Structure 1
């Protein structure tokens, strides 16, 4: 037997044992697992961003366990089993890659993505290309996916300069809203427009805005911890100028180490 199949069969058998014999595993439902799956997904992303391949292996395993767990619960409900799940994804992949499994020609990535979206609409009878964007996605990721979706039907700026002009336009509208002391709700709307435009600009620059922001978060934490570690008195007693001086020292150290 293929070692991959043997390993997968082992996981399925262990899942059967756990569901039958373990009080915790026996108690789990689709709903209770869903929150844990979200946590595991973020841990997978952390491992990728840290470049930790050993940790990544473990996180992939955790997510794979969850997929098997969901399938096991569904089989108990007589809804479907793991075989149905695997066959369904195989059928979907074959259908959405006609340039591989049929006579359709797609010589570049953009054509493949356009064909994928059109086939999705046909399969599920959807009336909007945006129906495929999950409602529960974090807002920044959702904005990126929305922009990627509409791009497939040509709703896209032609030049990156136009995208930046849109960012500047939205920034100007936000500033006017603040200067005119408009309602907090109106200012929030304008602020959201700025973020959406910046995410679009990041997309044109081939930058993942979520990953870029997380990198900045980590940089801020690293530098602030430097302030905490090198402060000669409690932070509350430091002036802003004193904290800025330590902050600049942290920046210089990072620059010298790079």
Structure 2
């Protein structure tokens, strides 16, 4: 047994022991764990953006613990009965399918070509989806959601008004863009506007346009 395998076995044993002996953990479900998963994920983002290597390791571990926690709950729940081995096998199979240039005969020599192959493989997996919007988590932060939806809009020929690009014509990097966005939020706040709600409202309108375009193309 390798040292790495020993560590993974110890990790799995620790998770099983927690579910066996911790009365708080025994009350947890997939649903009640969601807030902790969200919190740990944001803490990992903070560590990546501004933390040390040790902080990144710690926060990655916390996210890994959440994955193992959900998997252990499932292994003990009638009707689910999967464990972390099943989760690992599933994601391994998916990554092999989505990297045909690594595990198959396809060739991709640029990031753009890799993205094309990834998108094609993902589309083949999701043939049952009816809309390009399917699979987008609506609970994403508004800015991330907007970026995702705008990308899907382009697939069905829905254009988003980009005239506001004039506002950022002089911006040279993301640091300056961040300052500009912060200023927009501050100005909106001064005028009594909720920037998050306003953006989500605009995103819903864009999603309606996308769905209408999809219906027109049928």
After TM superposition, the score normalised by the length of structure 2 is 0.70
Matching residue of 2:75:
75
Distance 2:103 2:88 in 1: 18
Distance 1:156 1:109 in 2: 25
Q: 1:130 to 1:22 in 2, by over 3 A?
A: same
Within-5 A mapping of 1:1-258? 1-78=1-78, 79=80, 80-125=82-127, 126-149=129-152, 153=155, 166-167=163-164, 207=174, 212=178
Distance 1:154 1:22 in 2: 51
Distance 1:139 1:155 in 2: 22
Deviation at 1:135, TM superposition (A): 1.6
Aligned residues: 180
Higher helix share: 1
Q: Which protein is bigger by CA-based radius of gyration?
A: 1
Distance 1:131 1:206 in 2: 32
Deviation at 1:90, TM superposition (A): 0.4
Q: Cα RMSD over matched residues? A: 3.4
Structure with the bigger RCO (C-alpha within 8 Å, sep 6+) is 2
Segments of 5+ residues of structure 1 without an aligned counterpart are: 158-162, 172-197, 221-258
Distance 1:136 1:110 in 2: 28
Distance 2:180 2:5 in 1: 37
> Which range moved further: 75-84 or 93-102?
75-84
After TM superposition, the score normalised by the length of structure 1 is 0.60
Matching residue of 1:231:
none
Q: 1:57 to 1:18 in 2, by over 3 A?
A: same
Deviation at 1:154, TM superposition (A): 8.9
Deviation at 1:7, TM superposition (A): 1.1
Q: 1:13 to 1:33 in 2, by over 3 A?
A: same
